[in-house]
Structure 1
Amino acid sequence: MIKDYKVSIAIPIALLILSILLIGFKGIPKSIDITGGTEITIKVNENMDITPLKESLNGIAEVKKLESADGYYIVIRCKNEDVDIVKQKIKEFFHVDSLDKLNYSEKTIGATLSSKFFEEGFKAVGFAFMFMAIVVYLYFRNPVPSGAIILSALSDIIMALGAMSLLGIELSSATIAALLMVIGYSVDSDILLTTRVLKRLTKSFDETVKEAMKTGLTMTLTTITAMLILLIVVKLFIPVADILANIATVLILALIADIINTWLLNAGILKYYITEYRAKKI
């Protein structure tokens, strides 16, 4: 099944390097949860042209329109120091003297709170990953298979971040939570594969990997399907629930990366370990 483990390892490593370059040079856009700012959401009953509003707020705020089953939503995001100017432009656009006459909601996050949340969020991801690595090592007590699982899980996270950079998905409280979930989702198929390979008795390496793949891919594809359904429902019926959409999107991207890293990277390292490294030790 894996004819050349070097090629099997090289493909995900190349994608990992590409993801790191994307993160380093392009960066990842940050939501107001991370940078601090104000988000104003206005519900309107008709599909109105928001181009004049975008033009009047150009360089000051981000303006977008979302459509759902119960109407349309105009979402404006800006820095806290620009909120008074933004509100004035909104009143001029809708020809009202007060925002209270509109069906609107407002969310404000201070810069200090957002930076603290960003710091604590990534601490949580770091600690979760560290404890996962410790548990994996204690279970297998072998640096090569354990290292392969840890590298695969780390690659899942980095590739997900790289995809977020490429697609312009914002780093937010929701996506940080999704990255925490990725740690759990990513190691299950890796542990399944590694356990099957190390404990195989009579079957060949390729046969063992093929059997593990049937179970592992079923688990992963089931989760991807569930997340796709969630994403479609949110986009069609509740577009303002962008937290759910972001979580679903990041999990889908990470699970696609997990398929590559588990069945190419991890399996390739295990083939090297079984056929060459361990064979030399015997």
Structure 2
Amino acid sequence: MMSYAQWGNELYSGKRSYNIVKHSRAFLLSGIILIIISLLLVGFRGLNQSIEFTGGTQFIVSNTSDANETIGEGILGDQGVNQGIRATTVAGNSVRIQTPTLDTDQAEQARSALATAYDVPTEDVQVNSVGASWGQDVARKALQSIVIFVVLVSLLMAIYFRSWTMSAAALISLAHDLIITVGFFALVQVEVSPATVIGFLTILGYSLYDTVVVFDKVRETTHGVLDQERYTYGELVNLGVNQTLVRSINTSVVALLPVASVLFLGSLLLGAGTLTDISLALFVGMLVGAWSSIFIASPALALMEGRRGKVKAHDQAVLERRAAQAQGSDGKAEPIRVAKKSPGQHLGTSAQPKRKNRR
């Protein structure tokens, strides 16, 4: 049985290769379908926005022996609040209840009624009110932060790679990750809070990092692509993707393990709350980001570059030359081995550093 290290070495050397670029259209089409579904979910189901975005009144009942959510819902219903009530158990012995905005008298009456119903002192019932204008301002700032992030990323990618196709492919990957993650929140109706927005920004950073790692290797493998006649641009991109596949898997696993611990253990032990808001966004976003850096960003780059005049003409010449060689060898082309050297192979004395002459 092949070891994981051996599998990684074969991917790096080109002995084993998964032709991801060949199926670029299929991967991109699947991404577009998921994006459309996510947008439809957001449009029709909407997001379960927290009180920080919508405004309202929040009650937190602490140290109760019976953290039954229906008790709080029933009490507020008796107080004349019949719509927009959301009750959640927090940390096992606390209940968080959110309602539309109540005036001061209504809030105090509800507070006393909740204290009596849950058999706790009035001091253990906290009341917070958030104005609608403040909530709108928070939502606007959250949107602005995402837009600013995307603009800065565009400039960074353009400067770092000096290639508009790489910048565009990275932005496509970022949009893919963000929209699908938001669509997931619309599907499961988990509350979206400011902490969730922080999670969205974090996954954009993670996705960008993973994409830059892949593109850095792709830039290395495609360097001087027009100066050789053996391989097409897409084949060299595919080599770079395969060479970074193991690293992407390792990075994703290492990043997901602590987030999964926070998400599942934190939710079970502490109940729903800020930990769930941010950890769920991170968990879903990192999964989608690991996928997109390999199966969305790189195929998009290969397709865009493949349509450029010089690259397109070069690829056509390579394929024609290969077809002519295949006809002269019983109609069979040799297996494509892109990597010139295997890991650990001696490069010869010419590759050794030269000693400087000292006077």
Q: Shorter-chain TM-score: which interval?
A: 0.7 to 0.9
* 2:5 matched residue in structure 1: none
Higher helix share: 1
* 1:66 matched residue in structure 2: 89
Shift of 1:99: 7.7
Q: 1:46-78: per-residue Cα shift (whole Å, max 9, x none)?
A: 23544344234353452434264xx51111111
Shift of 1:136: 0.5
Q: 2:246 aligns with which of 214, 233, 252?
A: 214
Structure 2 CA distance for aligned equivalents of residues 88 and 79 of structure 1:
15
Q: Does residue 1:113 correspond to 2:138, yes or no? A: no
* 1:131 matched residue in structure 2: 152
C-alpha RMSD over aligned residues: 2.6
Between structure 1 and structure 2, the one with the greater Rg is: 2
What amino acid maps onto 2:238 in structure 1? D
Shift in CA distance, 219/78, structure 1 to aligned 2, threshold 3 Å:
same
Q: 1:55 aligns with which of 42, 67, 74?
A: 74
Percentage of identical aligned residues:
19
Structure 1 CA distance for aligned equivalents of residues 73 and 107 of structure 2:
11
Shift of 1:5: 1.4
Shift in CA distance, 145/108, structure 1 to aligned 2, threshold 3 Å:
same
1:1-282 matched pairs, under 5 angstroms:
1=18, 2=20, 3-47=22-66, 49-58=68-77, 59-66=82-89, 68=91, 71-81=92-102, 84-85=105-106, 87-89=108-110, 91-92=112-113, 94-95=115-116, 100-101=121-122, 103-200=124-221, 204-239=236-271, 242-273=273-304, 277=308, 279-282=311-314
Q: Any gaps of 5 or more consecutive residues in structure 1?
A: none
What amino acid maps onto 1:138 in structure 2? I
Shift in CA distance, 72/83, structure 1 to aligned 2, threshold 3 Å:
farther
Higher relative contact order (CA 8 A, sep 6+): 1
Structure 2 CA distance for aligned equivalents of residues 258 and 124 of structure 1:
19
Q: Contact (CA 8 Å) 1:197, 1:208: kept in 2 or not?
A: yes
Shift in CA distance, 205/129, structure 1 to aligned 2, threshold 3 Å:
closer
Shift of 1:185: 0.9
Shift of 1:260: 2.6
* Paired positions, count: 278
> What's the TM-score once normalised by structure 2's chain length?
0.70
Q: 1:226-279: per-residue Cα shift (whole Å, max 9, x none)?
A: 111112332133336x12221111111111221232221112123335666463
Shift in CA distance, 60/9, structure 1 to aligned 2, threshold 3 Å:
closer
Shift of 1:135: 0.7
Structure 2 CA distance for aligned equivalents of residues 22 and 36 of structure 1:
23
Higher strand share: 1
Q: Contact (CA 8 Å) 1:29, 1:170: kept in 2 or not?
A: yes
- Runs of 4+ off more than 6 Å: none
Q: 1:129-168: per-residue Cα shift (whole Å, max 9, x none)?
A: 1111111112122222211101101111111111110110
Q: Contact (CA 8 Å) 1:61, 1:76: kept in 2 or not?
A: no
Structure 2 CA distance for aligned equivalents of residues 75 and 41 of structure 1:
4
Structure 2 CA distance for aligned equivalents of residues 57 and 189 of structure 1:
48
Shift of 1:128: 1.2
Shift in CA distance, 27/61, structure 1 to aligned 2, threshold 3 Å:
closer
